[in-house]
Structure 1
Amino acid sequence: MNLRQLEVLRSVMRTRSTIAAAQDLGMSQPAVSNAIKNAEASLGFLLFDRVNKRLIPTQEAHILLAEAEPLFLMQAVVNQTAMDLRSGHKGRMRIAATSELSESLLPQVVAHFSKIHTGIDISLETQRLDNLLEYVETGIADVGFAMEPHPRPTLEYLPLATLDMVCACHIESPLSSLPFVTPTDLRDLPLINARTSSRISGLVEAAFRSDKVSYNPTIDVRFMNVAGHFVEEKLGATIMDELTASSRRYTALKSVPFKPLTQVTVSAIVSSSRPQQRLTRSLVGTARNEIQRRLGRKPTA
Structure 2
Amino acid sequence: MRLNVRLIECFHAIMTVGTVTAAADMLNTSQPAVSRSIQQLEAALGLKLFDRDKGRLLPTSQAFSLFEEVKKTFLGLEHIARVASNLKSYQSGSISIVCSPAFSNGFISEVATRFIETHKNVSLTVETHLAPTIAELMSAQRFDLGLAAYSLFPAATDTEVFAEPDEVCILPPNHPMTKSRVITPQCLAGSRFIFLGGSDPYRFRLDKVFETAGVERDLVIETRNTATVCAMVLRGAGVAIVNRFTAVDYLDAGLTMRRFSASLPFTSTLLRAKLRPTSPLVDLFIRELYRVRDHYLALSGTALDRQPHIESE
TM value normalised by structure 1: 0.63
Equivalent in the alignment of 2:145: 143
Cα 1:149–1:223, aligned 2, differ >3 Å: closer, same or farther?
A: farther
CA offset at residue 98 of structure 1? Answer: 1.7
Equivalent in the alignment of 1:171: 173
Cα 1:161–1:175, aligned 2, differ >3 Å: closer, same or farther?
A: same
Q: Deviations 1:266-297 (Å, cap 9, x if unpaired)?
A: 22222345565322222121111111122229
Cα 1:215–1:258, aligned 2, differ >3 Å: closer, same or farther?
A: same
Equivalent in the alignment of 2:223: 221
Deviates more, 1:135-144 or 1:174-183: 135-144
CA offset at residue 155 of structure 1? Answer: 3.4
Cα 1:282–1:203, aligned 2, differ >3 Å: closer, same or farther?
A: farther
CA offset at residue 205 of structure 1? Answer: 2.1
Alignment of 1:32-71 (within 5 A): none
Cα 1:185–1:108, aligned 2, differ >3 Å: closer, same or farther?
A: same
Q: Which amino acid aligns with 1:257?
A: R
CA distance in 2, matches of 1:262, 1:275: 37
Equivalent in the alignment of 1:283: 285
Unaligned ranges ≥5, structure 1 = 1-87
Cα 1:283–1:215, aligned 2, differ >3 Å: closer, same or farther?
A: farther
Q: Which amino acid aligns with 1:288?
A: Y
CA distance in 2, matches of 1:163, 1:104: 17
CA offset at residue 203 of structure 1? Answer: 2.6
Equivalent in the alignment of 1:240: 242
CA offset at residue 196 of structure 1? Answer: 6.6
Look up the SS of the partner of 1:148 in the other structure.
Answer: coil
CA distance in 1, matches of 2:199, 2:119: 33
TM value normalised by structure 2: 0.61
Unaligned ranges ≥5, structure 2 = 1-86, 300-313
Alignment of 1:254-269 (within 5 A): 254-269=256-271
**Contact 1:191/1:216 (CA < 8 Å) preserved in 2?**
yes
Cα 1:250–1:194, aligned 2, differ >3 Å: closer, same or farther?
A: farther
Equivalent in the alignment of 1:131: 133
Equivalent in the alignment of 1:57: none
CA offset at residue 128 of structure 1? Answer: 2.2
**Contact 2:131/2:148 (CA < 8 Å) preserved in 1?**
yes
Q: Which amino acid aligns with 2:285?
A: L
CA distance in 1, matches of 2:149, 2:229: 16
Asked if 1:103 corresponds to 2:108, the answer is: no
Equivalent in the alignment of 1:48: none
**Contact 1:99/1:126 (CA < 8 Å) preserved in 2?**
yes
CA distance in 2, matches of 1:128, 1:292: 23
Cα 1:259–1:291, aligned 2, differ >3 Å: closer, same or farther?
A: same
Q: Deviations 1:122-163 (Å, cap 9, x if unpaired)?
A: 111122222222222222221111211444344332222221
**Contact 1:187/1:213 (CA < 8 Å) preserved in 2?**
yes
Provide the aligned length of Structure 1 versus Structure 2: 210
CA distance in 2, matches of 1:103, 1:121: 19
Asked if 1:181 corresponds to 2:183, the answer is: yes
Cα 1:189–1:248, aligned 2, differ >3 Å: closer, same or farther?
A: closer
Cα 1:270–1:210, aligned 2, differ >3 Å: closer, same or farther?
A: farther
Q: Bigger radius of gyration, 1 or 2?
A: 2
Cα 1:250–1:146, aligned 2, differ >3 Å: closer, same or farther?
A: farther
CA distance in 2, matches of 1:270, 1:196: 28
Look up the SS of the partner of 2:194 in the other structure.
Answer: strand
CA distance in 2, matches of 1:203, 1:288: 27
Cα 1:281–1:170, aligned 2, differ >3 Å: closer, same or farther?
A: same
